[in-house]
Amino acid sequence: MFLYRYSWYLRGVVRTLLYGTVGLVLSFFFWRLPATAAEITLEADRTAVAADQLFQIRVWLNTEGETINTVAGNISYPTDLLNLQEIRDGNSIITFWVDRPAVQANKIFTFSGITPGGYRGPQGEILSLIFRAKKMGAPVVSFTNGTALLNDGRGSPALLKTTPLRLTIAPATGAAGAQYAIIDTNPPETFAPQIARDPNIEGNKWFVVFATQDKGAGIDHYEVGEHREKPGENSPGERAESPYILKDQTLQSFVVVKAVDKLGNQRTVILPPRATFWQRQRRYLIGILIVLFIILCGGLWSKKRRS
């Protein structure tokens, strides 16, 4: 009688324990599975190369169905076996480089970049690397310390998968090997620098921001010049990074921003002064008013003296 009277209660307890156990098992299982993933692939045009010959390695991103807007990491290689000749980013999916990759003396170089709006696809080129094999050996090129962020508004990290690239260097053959010269006579793509300021940047000083791409040789550097008189496209400037703090904080100067690719092709943009004509001519107007005032005072003094 007791069991019959409370059987509904016992069935509820058993059902609750059963559902709770299943829920915990499922939550643990799905918690262990990565929500998102991406893959970085290092692909060489030849995995077997002779000493003193050139070869190319491309760094690819496979987002595996996700949209990724930030990628960063290191490329490491043995400097006793490989000499990094050149880094090319002309065909990169990266739009803005936070840390632009550059050839360095050590065996590791770091890069990080952003693609506004994100990239989604199975084979997006991040970088292309030109190496020269030094001597016989079995070098390994690796992508390490990688980071990829999703374009989800929160910058959620994606799990990155990668596999080291293993190569073989045979004795020198005396053959020339593959050549990787770039033929590019086109300037960098058009761009629109912007002058702005922000309380969090250099005490609210005016600066200019700029960025563009070059699908051939890739961007080498930028130059910025400030001129009171209207300049030409070949007006001198100094090497600069974005954002560039303007020297003329009165905004009375023309600002020349020049993008130069690795073969010397240039794209120049000239921004007019932000100050109005009267603001730019203010010092001359003040001088003219002072002269007129002196003349007027002199005339009145002469008139008073004659009378």
| CATH code of 146's domain | 2.60.40.680
* In a shared domain, residues 72 and 152: yes
Residue 151 falls inside a structural domain:
yes
* In a shared domain, residues 48 and 114: yes
* In a shared domain, residues 158 and 220: no
* In a shared domain, residues 242 and 292: no
* In a shared domain, residues 51 and 107: yes
pTM, two decimals, is 0.69
pLDDT score at 24 = 44
pLDDT score at 292 = 76
pLDDT score at 217 = 86
pLDDT score at 32 = 41
pLDDT score at 63 = 95
pLDDT score at 7 = 47
Domain hosting residue 292, numbered range: 281-307
Three-point CA angle 216, 221, 222, nearest 5° = 115
* In a shared domain, residues 164 and 263: no
DSSP string, 225-294: EEESSPP-TT---EEE-SSEE-S-TT--SEEEEEEEETTS-EEEEEEPPSS-HHHHTHHHHHHHHHHHHH
Residue 220 falls inside a structural domain:
yes
* In a shared domain, residues 156 and 221: no
* In a shared domain, residues 262 and 300: no
* In a shared domain, residues 115 and 207: no
* In a shared domain, residues 56 and 162: yes
* 10-residue stretch averages of pLDDT, the chain, 307 residues long: 44 45 43 64 94 95 95 94 92 90 80 93 94 95 94 92 96 79 90 93 93 89 95 91 95 96 94 71 66 74 69
Total domains in the chain come to 3
Residue 162 falls inside a structural domain:
yes
CATH code at 254? Answer: 2.60.40
* In a shared domain, residues 291 and 239: no
